[in-house]
Amino acid sequence: MRSPIYQIDHLVHRYHGQPVLDIDQLLIQPATIMGLAGPNGSGKSTLLKLMAFIMRPDEGQIYFDGVPALPFGSVVRFQVTLLTQEPYLMKRSVFNNIAYGLRVRGQGEDTAGRIHEALEMVGLDPERFSGRQWSELSGGEAQRVALAARLVLKPRVLLLDEPTASVDAVSSELIRTASLRARQEWGTTLVIASHDREWLYDVCDEVIQLFKGRMTGTGRTNMIFGPWQEGGDGGFHKRLGDGRRLIVPAPPHAEAIAFIDPAAFRILDSPADPVAEHEACIDGTITRLSLERHSGRLYADVRAGSMTLVVCVEAAHVAAMTLHRGWPVRLAYRPERVQWH
């Protein structure tokens, strides 16, 4: 096994005294793609900024290539680059925006050719775009130029913070494709934070769940927010609409968040089948089936009322059950497998 490109030890970061990130240990191998999933405010952006060495962590240490590294450090300055969510460019032409990183690196040779290549990677016609000013671009174009400004550097690490959240569908697709090409062509390590779970699970070697600044797992999980209602029989549930209820054990407090492992659900062969004792059930419709590349597992998205649950389907069951999109299914689960955070 190669030595990790990132080793994060006991990392703590605070804003105004409040801890926003607390990661005990995280290793990232070179030339892999890692995903960061989690709701807004879970610490994804903070982690990426620390990994990009834009700011200094309050506690802990980040090792890059086995060496402790800090902002402006010579080890990392020209190796790591971050693309943020909002398209943001300097008040210069497209050409000069992309050329900036090359210039601070003192790489003057064939600037025009390299910028040409980078613009083509993000699907912008170099002839038409390189002379334009920053103010003459749409949001999607600006974000693609911003990505080109990173790609032209052929970075060892490319950190992407919700890179497609504020752009149109076409730009989004081009940004995804171009990012992946970086790994194919130069072995760039990618770390991607995104709300788009399907994309993450599709392309990433590993996906980390972040919640309230902590890592809560490294696979898929169902994260379910309240409000939790008390039933007449002393049990608790969440109303999902259409009269459906998700039965849960008593939550520790009103704002508790429920985590349910996708493997905790069992798809009944037929919705009419009876459920076992101590099992709860919920009815839904399959909206999507996907294969997780690195594990070979099959996952089904099941929409139940207002929410979508991720359900793990064992490979052996796939053929027998003949699952299809749009099919109604009944899920059975044991409420005690719900974990509270």
The SS3 assignment for 188 reads coil
d(CA 144, CA 164): 10
Q: Binding string to other proteins for residues 181 to 220, with x set by CB under 8 A, is what?
A: ----------------------------------------
Tell me the closest approach of the beta carbon of residue 60 to other proteins, in angstroms.
20
The piece of 31-39, 92-100, 171-179, 327-335 that touches other proteins (CB under 8 A) is 92-100
User: Should residue 15 be labelled a site residue for other proteins when binding is judged by CB under 8 A?
Assistant: no
Tell me, what amino acid is at 137? L
User: Should residue 101 be labelled a site residue for other proteins when binding is judged by CB under 8 A?
Assistant: yes
The SS3 assignment for 206 reads strand
Q: Which of 103, 128, 293, 317 binds other proteins (CB under 8 A)?
A: 103
In this structure, are residues 179 and 186 in contact, taking their beta carbons and an 8 Å threshold?
A: no
Bridge-based pairing of strands 157-161 and 189-193 is parallel
For helices 169-186 and 139-151, angle between their N-to-C axes, nearest 10 degrees: 10
Considering the complex, state which of residue 38 and residue 155 has its C-beta at the smaller distance from other proteins. 155
Alpha carbon distances (Å) from 199 to 134, 172, 186, 286, 298: 29, 11, 21, 18, 15
Tell me the closest approach of the beta carbon of residue 269 to other proteins, in angstroms.
52
The piece of 85-93, 198-206, 212-220, 308-316 that touches other proteins (CB under 8 A) is 85-93
| Token pair belonging to 85 | 């969510």
Exposure string (b/e) for 194-207, b if CB count within 10 Å is 16 or more?
A: bebbeebbebbeeb
Q: Which of 69, 82, 148, 192 binds other proteins (CB under 8 A)?
A: 82
Considering the complex, state which of residue 34 and residue 89 has its C-beta at the smaller distance from other proteins. 89
Contacts for 222 with CB less than 8 Å, ≥ 6 apart: 258, 259, 260, 261, 262, 309, 310
The piece of 80-88, 214-222, 263-271, 279-287 that touches other proteins (CB under 8 A) is 80-88
User: Should residue 72 be labelled a site residue for other proteins when binding is judged by CB under 8 A?
Assistant: yes
User: Should residue 100 be labelled a site residue for other proteins when binding is judged by CB under 8 A?
Assistant: yes
Could you list the residues that contact other proteins (CB under 8 A)? 49, 52-54, 71-72, 77-78, 80-82, 84, 86, 88-92, 96, 100-101, 103-105, 149-150, 153
